[in-house]
Amino acid sequence: MDDNSELIFFLVDDAGNRRVPFKIQAEHGPYGYALHPRKEGNNPKAAQYTEDLKELVQGVVLQGLGVRTRAKKGPQKGQVNTLHLAERTVSGYYLSKLRLDWVDGAEVRPLNESVSA
């Protein structure tokens, strides 16, 4: 099992760099993608943890939760942040076309949705 969601889902920052959600082991026990409610910062005890990709995507896109991500390229390569889709530093997200049904009804659509296969 992969420890990140890059093949299915990632955020894109305002410079066009991938910010890839990854699984973590919290000090207090839970393991998975850390989904953070707004105004809770990086508080690991406030996060909900999931290993389910659909729950990750829907939490970020439909529920507005933040997620721990790692920058893949650019000047911040390797930087770890909790990012929310609605933040000014996040321009959108990529979602595998095979999983577009996971975000039916979402106001913010995937950046790759109109790109031909």
Q: Please indicate, yes or no, if residue 21 is contained in any of the structural domains.
A: yes
Residue 18, Ramachandran bin (φ over 0: left; ψ between -120 and 50: alpha; else beta): beta
Type and span of the H or E element at 112? none
Q: Which amino acid is at 70?
A: R
Question: For residues 112 and 96, is the Cβ–Cβ distance under 8 A?
Answer: no
Distance CA 30, CA 117 (A): 37
Average pLDDT over residues 66-88: 90
In a domain, 114, yes or no: no
What are the tens digits of pLDDT across the range 25-76?
Answer: 988 889 999 999 988 777 778 899 999 999 999 999 999 999 999 999 888 8
In a domain, 106, yes or no: no
Q: Report the pLDDT value the prediction gives residue 32, as an integer from 0 to 100.
A: 95
pLDDT at 46: 85
**Containing structural domain, residue 37:** 9-96
pLDDT-based confidence at residue 105 (cuts at 50, 70, 90): very high
- 82 in a structural domain: yes
Is 44 part of any domain? yes
Judge whether 87 lies within some domain: yes
Average pLDDT, the chain: 90
Q: How many Cβ atoms are within 10 Å of 50's Cβ, its own excluded?
A: 19
Assess whether pLDDT exceeds 50 at residue 1: no
Indicate whether 116 belongs to any domain.
no
